[in-house]
Amino acid sequence: MNREDGPHSNNPHVRKAMEAGEIQHVAWAYERPGDKGRGFGTTGAHYHGTWNSDDWRTLILNAIAWTAGVEIPKKGVPSKPNPVQDGN
């Protein structure tokens, strides 16, 4: 929210809504009635730095597993950071 308004950043409508305390959805999941097909969407994967968060990676791994119908472990699908290699 601290970036200037632009086509790929915040906009005045979102900024005003957030100032008013409105919840902003950045991820959603849906299970269809009947055939129980599942879908997941998110708007939060734009920045490389986001992927450095263990919580973010766990969310995405959980979403993939849930969408595929795989049972999610109690503590979530484990995500281990990829350590930076010296100059490689």
β-bridge mates for residue 50, sequence order: none
Core vs surface per residue 38-63: b (16+ CB within 10 A) or e: eeeeeeeeeeeeeeeeeebbbbbebb
In the chain, the amino acid numbered 60 is: I
pLDDT band of residue 40 (cuts 50, 70, 90) is very high
Please check whether residue 86 lies inside any domain of the structure: no
Please check whether residue 68 lies inside any domain of the structure: yes
Q: Which two tokens stand for residue 39?
A: 């879908």
Please check whether residue 40 lies inside any domain of the structure: yes
Please check whether residue 9 lies inside any domain of the structure: no
Please check whether residue 4 lies inside any domain of the structure: no
Instruction: Determine the pLDDT at residue 1.
Output: 64
pLDDT band of residue 31 (cuts 50, 70, 90) is very high
**pTM for the whole thing?**
0.71
User: Structurally, how many domains does the chain consist of?
Assistant: 1
Please check whether residue 16 lies inside any domain of the structure: no
Please check whether residue 43 lies inside any domain of the structure: yes
Contact predicate 59/66, CB 8 Å: no
Please check whether residue 29 lies inside any domain of the structure: yes
Rounded (5°) CA angle 25-28-31: 155
Q: Which domain holds residue 36?
A: 25-80
